[in-house]
Structure 1
Amino acid sequence: MVSKVEVFLLGVMIIGWSSYVDAKNTEHSDMIVSSAVTARNENFCQLCQDFTTRTINFLKENETQTNIISNLHQVCFLLHSSKQQCISLVDCYSSILSAEIAKVEPKQLCDKVKFCEKEEGVHLIKNDDPCTICHNVVDEILTKLDDPDAQLQIIQTLLKGCNRIENFSHQCKKLVLEYGPILLVNAYKFFEKTDVCTAIHACKAHKEADIGPEFLAVSSA
Structure 2
Amino acid sequence: MGVIKFGILFFFCFLLEPTCDASNPIPSVHDNQVCELCDKYLTLAIDYLQNEDNQNAFVEALHMTCSQIPPLQKQADRYTQRFFTQVSLLKPHHICKSLNLCQPPLHSQGNCDACHDTVSQLLPKLKDPQTKLKIIRLLLKECKSLNNYQDKCKKMVFEYGPLMLADLENFLEKKDVCSILGVCPTHSFYVLPAALADS
Q: Same fold (TM over 0.5)?
A: no
Question: Higher Cα Rg: structure 1 or 2?
Answer: 2
Give the TM-score taking structure 2 as reference length.
0.39
**Structure with greater contact order relative to length (CA < 8 Å, sep ≥ 6):** 1
